[in-house]
Structure 1
Amino acid sequence: ASPIGVNSFLWRASLDTISFMPLASADPFGGVLITDWYSAPETPGERMKLTVYILDRQLRADGIRVAAFKQRRDETGAWVDQPVEPAVATRIEDAILTRARQLRVSSSAS
Structure 2
Amino acid sequence: MIRRLAPAILLGSIALTLSACGGKARPQADLAASNVTTIGVNSYLWRASLDTLSFMPLLQTDSSGGVIVTDWYARPNDPNERMKVTVSILDRDLRADALRVAALREVRQNGQWVGAPVQAATVQKLESIILTRARDLRRAAVTDEG
TM-score bracket for the superposition, by shorter chain length: over 0.9
Structure 1 residue runs of 4 or more that deviate by more than 3 Å after TM superposition = none
- Whether 1:24 aligns to 2:70 is no
Deviation sequence 1:14-42 (CA, Å, 0-9, x none): 00001000000000000000000000001
TM-score, normalized by length of structure 1?
0.97
Q: Which runs of 5+ in 1 are unaligned?
A: none
Aligned length: 109
**Structure in which a larger fraction of residues adopt strand:** 1
**Structure 1 CA distance, aligned partners of 2:44 and 2:140?**
11
**Structure 2 CA distance, aligned partners of 1:3 and 1:100?**
17
Percent identical: 57
Deviation sequence 1:57-93 (CA, Å, 0-9, x none): 0000111010010000002x11000010111111000
- Whether 1:56 aligns to 2:91 is yes
**Structure in which a larger fraction of residues adopt helix:** 2
Residue in structure 2 matching 1:84, options 115, 118, 137: 118
Q: 1:29 is aligned with what amino acid?
A: S
Q: Which runs of 5+ in 2 are unaligned?
A: 1-15, 17-36
- Whether 1:4 aligns to 2:55 is no
Higher relative contact order (CA 8 A, sep 6+): 1
Larger radius of gyration: 2
TM-score, normalized by length of structure 2?
0.73
Q: Give the superposed CA RMSD.
A: 0.7
* 1:3 to partner: Cα distance: 2.1
